[in-house]
Structure 1
Amino acid sequence: MQIRDLPYTDPGRPDTRSGPRLLLWLGRHQLAGQAKAMAWGVVHMAAVAALPVALGIAVQAVVDRSGARLALAGGLMVLLGGLVALGDTMLHRTAVTNWITAAARVQQLLARKTAELGATLTRQVAAGEVVAVSTGDVEKIGWFVEALSRFGSALFTTLSVCTALVVYQPALGTVIALAVPALVLAVLPLLPPATRRADEQRDKAGYATELASDTVAGLRVLRGIGGEELFLDRYRRASQEVRRAAVRSARMWALIAAVQVLLPGLLLIAVVGYGVGLVEDGRVGVGELVTVYGLVTFLLFPLRVFEEIAMAYSFSRPSAERAARVLSLGRTARGGEGEGPAEVPAGDLYDPESGLSAPAGRLTAVVCGDPDAAGRLADRLGGHAAAGTEGVPSALLGGVALDGLPLETARTAVLVQDKDPVLLSGTLAELLDVPASGAVPAEAALAAAQCGDVLTALAQASPEDSRDPMRTRITERGRSLSGGQRQRLALARSLVTDPQVLVLDEPTSAVDSHTEARIADGLRALRQDRTTVVFSSSPLLLDRADRVVFVQEGRAVATGTHRGLLRDDPAYRAVVTRETDPVARPANELDAELTELGESEQIEESA
């Protein structure tokens, strides 16, 4: 796999049972790249290891006054220098390729999971966790995958050099062969506490960042109530905790760095001291001592690689655990991917958990006093069971379980627009360029959503005075628009899609009553003979629905028309009219209210 071949056509199905299993799965998918990097690593390290041999030959040639051996040593050094340069260049190229391709594979898997779960992702895992996994954790995973090949080549070269030393100089070689594993193992006990301190710093930094974001987002409100100093003090305390955690982490890594310098230095001193004694006894030549010293110096290089791979695994294992946790999430609490029929089922939409039924081709309004419960119910109607709700049955469309359908089929069948839809940055034409049936043109959707004033405002801001609102760029999350304008554009986007079943959660909460009434009429006309479910407590929307379902404590307890329920059901009336006392009012008051509602409708129609 080369970088130019990215992205992957199919990144595969990862093993998400644990972090180490995910790392092993990534390694299996890069065997060719790892073997290539390891081969170049062996070439590089073997050439570096052979340089002391050539240097020792040169020194001994000078001592023996042998010009031929000195020339041979010089030529060998030139050859080894070329191999060192070639091996290092190709090792870096292949190792970085392994890093980037592994990180790209994980990022593609995360992007696929995000697209699969949609808005339900942030209900199962915090948005900040997803961002952290997609950035820092992906880097750490790629680091470990990249370091594997260098570790393999360093291990092979170290074993070869130690064996050669034992054969070449048994006395010195045995000391070195015993000392090298001790040096490798000496730093390992320090890595777990260092990793824990680094994770603690990461968690505290994430909390401080989240606190800062919340403070900035709510700064206007905080200034209004005089609470900005309170939140600033909280951020100062969080920032100081991050600083203290960073200092504790830095101290541990400084200790590890000191050990990495101290112990190899002691080994070099011991080897030189012992070797000088052997030279004085005539058991070892000067050139041989130089060769051994050079090989010991070389062994410090793979020792660093051994410590790096231990460090990389200590960092990447928790990162892989977090990535595996996100990648293991499913569309439902059962994690099902859907293997049912690919055909889009037709029929009534039914939720067994609440008993809510939405007849096919009708506009059904749902009144639910608990906004959170309404959001969970809307998710279930879209085939997404909330996290932690094992055993909750799936919603049925035409008698077919939605969470048993393939993802594309389920999304073609049912579209859920939550109460806080997101507008991505881009032009209005790009915003409305979504997968759709083609039956609803953008103009009709915009008209039904009452976007006339939005189009006028966008036309005035159009580039190059083209007066074309479709070419006007909308900023990220629609921040250049008001809340009502964003809500209506999001509704228009959903109407353009023209799904078989459209579920809308509070689609008109940010618009005035006159606009809301016209939207209700436009929605009813445009979605004629299509199944539409609207979660709302607005009388204007409820009165235009074919049927109204009242959901209380998670169960559908009443069904009828808005006026009928308003007259006969005190609990329904308390939710819709926001009465504190659900006791039935006198009949003359109810009749007067219904009469006023009818008169307001006539005024709206005449307007």
Structure 2
Amino acid sequence: MEFTAGRVLRRAIGRHRARMIAGMLVLALHQATEVAVPITIGIFVDQAVSTGRLEPLLWCVLMMVALFAVLSNAWKTGARQVVHAIEYETHLLRLEIARRVLDPRGHRTGLRSGELLQIATSDAEKTSLVLRAVSLGFAGSAALVVSSVALLLVDVPLGLGVMIGVPLLVLGIQALSPLLTRRTASQQEAVASTTALATDLVGGLRTLRGIGAQHNAAERYRRSSQETLKATLRAASTNGLQDGVTNALSGLLLAAVAGVAGWFALDGRISIGELITVVGLAQFIAEPVGLLGYSGQVFATSRASAGRLASALGSPWAITTGTSTSLDPAKPLLSLEGVGYKTLSSLDLSLRPGELVGVLCYDPRDADALLTVVAGRTADHTGRVLVGGTDVEELDIDLVRRSVLVEQHDTDLFEGTLRSNLLAGSSNSSGLERVVEAAAATDVIEAYPDGLDHPLSDRGRTLSGGQRQRLGLARALLAEPPVLVLHDPSTAVDAVTEELLAEGLAEVRGVPTLATLVLTSSPALLGKMHRVLVISEGSVVAEGRHAELADTDTAYQEAVLR
């Protein structure tokens, strides 16, 4: 299904049509009531003030009270309906973006995390404002129609002048909308780029300080921020130009109508009350014209944001999936046959139930490529990747994710407690203590008086790298996936802890129903593996037990023994 800015906007209006219709009608009633105020005052002058009669005066007072009661309640009721629709649409758009970003099939938006965050927050909110633009535009149009009809009833030339002049005025104002859309889109792209840069810099702040590059990073952010400021000022200048043109032209229209009406009154063509009505209506017309101008600005902004939303929602999936749910228990849990991707070339690998297999990559790029393929984050590889004897492209994506879990080197922890991070949404805590011990993370829990209920900050920033690494391993072990793929799970721990971790991993995962693939150069971990595969220049060049390879392979000794 193709996503475009127009489709996103039409869908936003369509799925709130009931509230929008109610809101627009009530807001149109509010504008019509505003039109009735100068008309009532004109009648009051002609029927009560000029004649001195009490009865018309009382009726006019009661009419004004009723008009203002309807006027205030109509605005309140109509605005509530539209605001409810705007807020709910914003919520729905944010959920859509979140589902798209978190979908296990991945996406090819080409956008960084900060840019996606900007789309999910600012652009979602601005896209939803199209509902405000439509409702206020409808209300303003209704006010102009009622005003024109009232002027026609007072004097036909005056009414015709307004009916011809106002559409020309609105068309002139809308001529700036394409420029405003382009400049708003440029501004939002610049803001998203700066937000993404800020997110990256904050995430890598420790590294930047470690290598002394924080000043260069700050300068880069300053340049990006200045570009964003320039784009914002260009968009603001266009907004200001449209506001100025709207006020100037509506003022000229007001002066023309009032001048002609005054001439007609002096000539005796219209009464004093009708003159007051015409002048009041002419002055009021500036409000709906301003509403139409404002609606045009909001629509231009919404269209620009909708285009960015559409690019994210309509981006192609990173991988293709099927619907099959059949796995052959007699086949390896995970197989790679002749896989080629980036630095990998014709790589063969199999993982059977009960196996602990270590992988040593002389080139770190081979490890990264292998993880990308096994994690299912790309469909651009050659060869076959099979889970339970079936190509992953044919399997249901949820089944693949339940069957194969890849625990990355950089562990992601979330705001919450230690317990909630380890459980990761699961309610099964029966094996929690066992996996914490297996991951050599008992000391992490015992370091806090409240233990597993100790609160963590965002990304676990209060923990050391080794603590985060062990908690991530414990979380992966607790999930008990049939295939667990680990990438350097012990690089941030000392030798004693590494040995405890290796023993715990072998104990928990060394059961007939599970299989584990560990990409590492740690002799402690490799020593616990049933077999070790050595990958060089993209393919397997050696295979055997750790002790055998360490005794016979010089290159293996140099890479592993330390």
TM-score range, shorter chain: 0.7 to 0.9
Tell me what 2:81 maps to.
94
| Bigger Cα displacement from structure 2, 20-29 vs 201-210 | 201-210
Residue 456 (str. 1) matches residue 446 (str. 2) = yes
Tell me what 2:163 maps to.
177
Separation of aligned partners in 2, 1:506 and 1:122 = 27
Tell me what 1:351 maps to.
336
CA 1:200–1:22 in 2, change beyond 3 Å: closer, same or farther?
Answer: closer
| Bigger Cα displacement from structure 2, 45-54 vs 155-164 | 155-164
Please list, as runs of the form range in 1=range in 2, the aligned pairs for 1:167-246 lying within 5 A after superposition.
167-212=153-198, 226-246=212-232
The one-letter code sitting in structure 2 at the alignment partner of 1:307 is G
CA 1:390–1:298 in 2, change beyond 3 Å: closer, same or farther?
Answer: farther
8 Å CA contact 1:332, 1:403 repeated in 2: no
Residue 512 (str. 1) matches residue 494 (str. 2) = yes
CA shift for structure 1 position 504: 1.5
Separation of aligned partners in 2, 1:249 and 1:438 = 53
- Relative contact order higher in (CA < 8 Å, ≥ 6 apart): 2
CA 1:288–1:391 in 2, change beyond 3 Å: closer, same or farther?
Answer: farther
CA 1:569–1:264 in 2, change beyond 3 Å: closer, same or farther?
Answer: farther
Tell me what 2:469 maps to.
487
CA shift for structure 1 position 206: 4.3
Query: What percentage of residue pairs aligned between the two structures are identical?
Result: 32
8 Å CA contact 2:109, 2:316 repeated in 1: no
| Bigger Cα displacement from structure 2, 178-187 vs 94-103 | 178-187
Please list, as runs of the form range in 1=range in 2, the aligned pairs for 1:279-294 lying within 5 A after superposition.
279-294=265-280
CA 1:41–1:445 in 2, change beyond 3 Å: closer, same or farther?
Answer: same
Tell me what 2:533 maps to.
549
Q: Indicate which of 560, 570, 577 corresponds to 2:558.
A: 577
Tell me what 2:413 maps to.
423
Tell me what 1:314 maps to.
300
| 2:257 alignment partner, SS class | helix
Separation of aligned partners in 2, 1:224 and 1:498 = 37
Separation of aligned partners in 1, 2:429 and 2:539 = 35
8 Å CA contact 1:331, 1:403 repeated in 2: no
Q: CA offsets, 1:405-440, max 9 Å, x none? A: 444433322222112121112222222223569597
Tell me what 2:435 maps to.
445
Residue 262 (str. 1) matches residue 248 (str. 2) = yes
Q: CA offsets, 1:374-419, max 9 Å, x none? A: 344324323x333xx5576773211233354444433322222112
CA 1:433–1:288 in 2, change beyond 3 Å: closer, same or farther?
Answer: same
| 1:419 alignment partner, SS class | coil
CA shift for structure 1 position 125: 3.2
| 2:484 alignment partner, SS class | strand
Q: CA offsets, 1:11-53, max 9 Å, x none? A: xxxx652222122222221111111111211221121121121
Q: Indicate which of 280, 284, 298 corresponds to 1:298.
A: 284
The one-letter code sitting in structure 1 at the alignment partner of 2:520 is S
Tell me what 1:363 maps to.
356
Calculate the aligned-residue CA RMSD, in Å. Answer: 3.1
Tell me what 2:520 maps to.
536
8 Å CA contact 1:197, 1:248 repeated in 2: yes
TM-score, structure 2 as length reference: 0.88
Separation of aligned partners in 2, 1:330 and 1:237 = 32
| 2:360 alignment partner, SS class | strand
Residue 134 (str. 1) matches residue 116 (str. 2) = no
Tell me what 1:385 maps to.
377
8 Å CA contact 1:162, 1:173 repeated in 2: yes
8 Å CA contact 1:364, 1:547 repeated in 2: yes
The one-letter code sitting in structure 2 at the alignment partner of 1:142 is S
Separation of aligned partners in 1, 2:543 and 2:96 = 44
Q: How many residues align?
A: 549
Separation of aligned partners in 1, 2:137 and 2:382 = 48
Tell me what 1:475 maps to.
457
| Bigger Cα displacement from structure 2, 416-425 vs 108-117 | 108-117
8 Å CA contact 1:166, 1:174 repeated in 2: yes
Q: CA offsets, 1:319-367, max 9 Å, x none? A: 2222233334566334x5x5333x6764421234343322233112233
5+ unaligned residues in a row in structure 2: which ranges?
Answer: 340-346
8 Å CA contact 2:488, 2:518 repeated in 1: yes
Tell me what 1:434 maps to.
424
Separation of aligned partners in 1, 2:19 and 2:199 = 41
Q: Indicate which of 28, 42, 55 corresponds to 2:41.
A: 55
The one-letter code sitting in structure 2 at the alignment partner of 1:493 is R
8 Å CA contact 1:144, 1:312 repeated in 2: yes
Separation of aligned partners in 2, 1:318 and 1:557 = 53
Q: CA offsets, 1:498-535, max 9 Å, x none? A: 11111212212212233223322211211122011222
The one-letter code sitting in structure 2 at the alignment partner of 1:299 is I
Separation of aligned partners in 1, 2:70 and 2:383 = 65
TM-score, structure 1 as length reference: 0.82
| Bigger Cα displacement from structure 2, 73-82 vs 148-157 | 148-157
| Bigger Cα displacement from structure 2, 420-429 vs 536-545 | 536-545
Separation of aligned partners in 1, 2:384 and 2:4 = 28
| 2:335 alignment partner, SS class | strand
8 Å CA contact 2:416, 2:455 repeated in 1: yes
5+ unaligned residues in a row in structure 1: which ranges?
Answer: 1-14, 463-467, 579-592, 601-607
